[in-house]
Amino acid sequence: MSSGRAVLCVLLLLTGAQGFGILPGDSLNHLEITERAILDTAVQVCRALAQAEGTDFSFPSQPYTAKGVAVACGAPKSSKSFRRAITFITLMNIRVDIRHALNASFHFDEEMFVQGRKIITEGLVAIKASIKQENVEAARQKLGEICHPTQDFYSHSNWVELGKKVPNANLIRSDTSIGNIAEESRATCRNCDGDNCTNNILEDIIEGQILTSGYFGIVPLVSTKPKGKCSHGGAVDQTSTIEPIGGINKDSFGASHGHLHTAAANMAIAATSELLQDIREDAGDRPFLQMIGISKRSSKALCFVIDTTKSMSDDIEAVKTVTSSIIDSEVGTEDEPAAYILVRFNDPDVGPPVKTTDSTVFQTVINELSASGGGDEQEPSLSALKLALTSAPPNAEIFLFTDAAAKDKQLKSTATALIERTQSVVNFMITNSAALNRRRRRDDRQQNSRITASDVQLYRDLAQTSGGLAIEVTTSELPEAISIITESSSSSLVTLLQAARNPGKADNFTFMVDETVTDPIVYITGRSVTFTVISPTGESQQSGDTTGSVITATKSVGNFITLKLKKQVGRWEVKMVSADPYTLKVTGQSPIDFLFDFVEASQGPMGGFDVLDSRPRAGVNSSLLVSLTGSDTATLTEVALVDLLGSEEIKGVVETQGSGNFLVHFNRTPSVEFVVRVKGRNDSGTSRASEVFQRQFATTLRSSNLTITADSNSILTPGTPYTVPFSVMTNGIGGNFTIQATNSRSFDSTSPTSLILEAGKGANGTVTLSAPRTTPSGTDLTLTIEAVAPGGGDTNYIMLRISIINPLTDFTEPRCELIRLQSNCSENCSLSMWDLSVRVSDGADGTGVDRVSLKKGNGTFNTNLDAGNENITLVSYSASCCDADMALQVVDRVGNVGSCVYTNREGSQSAQSFSTKVKHNLLLCLSEVVLGLLLVTELGFR
């Protein structure tokens, strides 16, 4: 390790004491191990899909990258969502070392093998259930958590020292023995010979193939271990000075058993790949790829939140018309939404949400909308928005249609928090506003406004936070407004500039268009706005000009103006003049974009950095982890926190971490609303030596003088009280702080409504909630805890994602029973056939067979339920005698996977058992993986 380099926020501990290290360097770390396994598995899945579909597949060049793999998978626009998924999974992996540093079970320390495997197998159940419910974010979170112990097993136990060449397949199975574990009274180690620990594990442990792992403790004079036991080792581990002295960890080349680091790390990569393959076999190839962020559809969900009160009848008809055109233009393309979501609201009813991936189903649901009831001046629009934000995956595109003010204005801070955390874009389509009625007395409704200027401002504020727009139009203008805002929708959309001025004033704005940007568009909202656009060549065009070479097309509807710009590389300028509030947004299409997370130094005993689940602290130093996407040759040159109103920008110190990651340090965080802007260079290999680019994050951020923390088990059992302890501290003025805890499923919960805080001190509380016993496994729950300072001038929140899992009793894979195998094969195999019949069941105590698929063989394959028992599936198969082998994969309803292999080869057994055949295949597969990884390492795959 290189101790002089900055600590990468996603990496473990300053010492590398509890995992595969934290710093980029010669030793492999958890980030690299996890990323390599995901990239390699993705390639294998995409190759299998291409073979099954009869299409060509070209392996990406080494070393694999998110961009290269996405292109090889035929989904180049998935590069950003794939990188986002990998980053999130690795962050959750490394968080284990921050949140569970001293819990031996999470690291397979202290011979906690049974407990460690339980964490892995229970996590697998949660992942598989979440994927079935299409809750991919929950699946990713849990995957990151269980990757950590899976990898630590090979660094902290003596599996490698026992001479094992392949991973322990029983780590991911709960119904088998994990191995012969050393008894607590059995000695396992001797003293190291000075700094040489290569021979400190006792011979009888090695010869008897006995599993052991090192003990670990950090408190001097208190940390201890049983007599004769191995220690973890390292400067932090206080047990390593107790006889037997030394350690056995392989976390880095400098560790006690560092001579085995490469073997342990490669074994960890292969084991992580095995874990991913198990998830894939249960989920299926397409859902698995979607879980890791690869899809030939857009990664974004399209969500409509619609007021269905009687006054909205004409608006609903307009939405029906426009929805059809949106779907028709995007179905079958890479811009087709990943999911479609509809949330209705009609006081007092809100929802439930309708969610589907089928565009035809969504169109049917939209066409069935009707308007009724209502009549109040206000409607529960923010309750509906909150439901949409918690039902949709992150980065959704949300459109809210209403002609009324929000009845639930008190939810503004909650909606703001959800927007910040999900980074979803919310566009408000507002009809019948007071401003419109003043300007258009002949509106087709001929009625008084239901929504005032102050009411509209609330929607503007939320739109601005999300990077969306608040568009005020008449009902007749609504279709045109929706069409304008959606026609440029794309999974490769990037923000070049975003700003707001309230109150309005004359101001100048600049942005960069680089070689990779296409279709640059300017969006303006506001009244009585004039503008001048100046191109990089100095040409200009004003808002009153109907002709010009700078703006290729202009559209104006309601308070909304769009300008399509001529593509010119360089620095552009927009001069705005208006006394009224206005917003300015510039977008384009480009593969190059960025992701980021705020991070902070861990307060735990081991140090390190952790990702913030809440707002950063105002006025003090802060750090960002920034990842570039869409280019393997781009680098960052500047990252700034920019005041949304343009009064200041704070530039950070950028430190390159490799693999497109950058750690950025700021001497303080703005106390007002701000956005993140990055600048960089892209060496594209064209005639230009390097191309300068600029991007801005769409979501507006806030800091706070409040600090709120919470942590809990991420799995909730229905019918059982679930508690979440939390704490709140203020660095500002003390007093009585309002506390609000809400959950996305509206489950019954209790929590304090207020806490008394003193300046610089904290107070604790607990949220207790319960899910109904009938809640299905895989249900995703978001818990948001907010703290509001006296007077409402400052707020902060923390958001926890919780998986709901019903207790399982079925841990056995389904089985096959051969009914008949008949063959009339001759010497000319092409002229003869063989066939078989198989009965598949999950046993008397099983949950039932979910699906049976043909994994090998080119014959005719059919399944149907047994007429006498619906828990039994009958399989028939026939094939040419030239195609002598077939294999079935069987998955039950809780994700247990079985396999059955049959052949008509003369002298061969007709069937092989699951355990023998699969173990053989896994050994072959994993041996190839390990060999490939070793070759890659030799080639410098860092």
Residue scoring higher pLDDT (320 or 117)? 117
Mean pLDDT of 251-267: 94
Confidence of residue 144 (pLDDT cuts 50, 70, 90): very high
β-strand pairing of 833-841 with 869-880 = antiparallel
Q: Cβ neighbours of residue 746 under 8 Å, at least 6 residues apart?
A: none
Task: Say whether pLDDT at 237 is over 60.
Answer: yes
Residue 54 φ then ψ, to 5°: 70, 30
Q: What is the pLDDT of residues 674-704, one digit of tens each?
A: 999 999 998 865 545 458 899 999 999 999 9
Tokens of 638: 């500047």
Mean pLDDT of 459-463: 93
pLDDT for position 926? 40
β-strand pairing of 551-557 with 560-565 = antiparallel
User: What's the length of the chain?
Assistant: 942
Mean pLDDT, rounded, of the chain: 85
Mean pLDDT of 561-583: 92
Confidence of residue 449 (pLDDT cuts 50, 70, 90): low
DSSP annotation string for 601-669:
E--STT--EEE-SSPPBTTS-EEEEEEEES-SSEEEEEEEEEETTSS-EEEPEEEEEETTEEEEEES--
Q: What angle do CA 620, 583, 457 make, to 5 degrees?
A: 85
- In angstroms, what CA-CA distances link 71 with 34, 77, 284? 20, 8, 21
- The CA distance from 161 to 175, in Å, is 25
Residue scoring higher pLDDT (716 or 919)? 716
Mean pLDDT of 646-673: 88
Task: Say whether pLDDT at 10 is over 50.
Answer: no
Distance of CA 795 to the CA centre of its chain: 26
Q: What is the pLDDT of residues 642-656, one digit of tens each?
A: 988 777 899 999 998
Helical H segments across 331-396, by residue range? 359-367, 381-391
Among candidates 430, 427, 378, 377, which has minimal Cα distance to 406?
Answer: 378
Q: Which H/E stretch holds residue 125? A: helix 113-132
As a 3-state breakdown, the chain gives helix, strand, coil percent values, each rounded to 5, of: 30, 30, 40
pLDDT for position 853? 87
Strand partners, 510: 573
Tokens of 315: 């608006």
- The CA distance from 183 to 210, in Å, is 9
- Sign (positive or negative) of CA dihedral 654, 656, 657, 658: positive
Task: Express as a percent the part of the chain with pLDDT over 90.
Answer: 48
Q: How many CB atoms lie within 10 A of CB 686?
A: 10
Among candidates 804, 59, 782, which has minimal Cα distance to 387?
Answer: 782
Among candidates 568, 469, 452, which has minimal Cα distance to 512?
Answer: 568
Task: Choose the weakest-confidence range: 162-171, 323-332, 490-499.
Answer: 323-332
Task: Choose the weakest-confidence range: 312-321, 688-697, 747-756.
Answer: 688-697
- The CA distance from 921 to 926, in Å, is 8
Confidence of residue 927 (pLDDT cuts 50, 70, 90): very low
- In angstroms, what CA-CA distances link 883 with 138, 571, 880? 42, 63, 5
pLDDT for position 349? 85
Residue 164 φ then ψ, to 5°: -70, 140
- The CA distance from 587 to 697, in Å, is 11
Q: Which H/E stretch holds residue 269? A: helix 261-283
Q: How many CB atoms lie within 10 A of CB 410?
A: 11
Mean pLDDT of 55-65: 92
| Range 220-229 burial, b when 16+ CB lie within 10 A, else e | eeebebeeeb
Contact at 8 Å (CB) between 560 and 525? yes
pLDDT for position 109? 96
- The CA distance from 55 to 66, in Å, is 21
Map residue 501 onto helix, strand or coil.
strand
Q: Cβ neighbours of residue 529 under 8 Å, at least 6 residues apart?
A: 504, 543, 561, 576, 577, 578, 580, 582
Q: What is the pLDDT of residues 270-315, one digit of tens each?
A: 999 999 999 999 899 999 999 999 998 887 888 999 999 888 888 8
Cα Rg of the chain, angstroms: 30
pLDDT for position 867? 66
* Strand extents, DSSP E, 172-297: 180-181, 210-211
Task: Express as a percent the part of the chain with pLDDT over 70.
Answer: 88
Confidence of residue 593 (pLDDT cuts 50, 70, 90): very high
Strand partners, 735: 757
Task: Choose the weakest-confidence range: 6-15, 26-35, 97-106, 753-762.
Answer: 6-15
pLDDT for position 571? 93
- The CA distance from 558 to 556, in Å, is 7
Confidence of residue 327 (pLDDT cuts 50, 70, 90): confident
pLDDT for position 588? 93
Measure CA of the first residue to CA of the last residue in the chain; give whole Å: 14
pLDDT for position 686? 53
State which amino acid sits at residue 284. Answer: G
pTM: 0.83
Mean pLDDT of 489-493: 75
Q: What is the pLDDT of residues 217-229, one digit of tens each?
A: 988 889 999 999 9
Q: What is the pLDDT of residues 811-870, one digit of tens each?
A: 778 889 899 888 888 888 888 899 999 999 887 777 788 888 888 888 999 988 776 676
Task: Say whether pLDDT at 911 is over 60.
Answer: no
pLDDT for position 105? 95
Mean pLDDT of 748-772: 93
Q: Which long-range contacts (CB under 8 A, 24 or more apart) does 535-540 make?
A: 535/565, 535/566, 535/568, 535/570, 535/572, 536/568, 536/569, 536/570, 536/571, 536/572, 537/568, 537/570
Task: Choose the weakest-confidence range: 744-753, 792-801, 927-936.
Answer: 927-936
Among candidates 696, 622, 693, 627, which has minimal Cα distance to 658?
Answer: 627
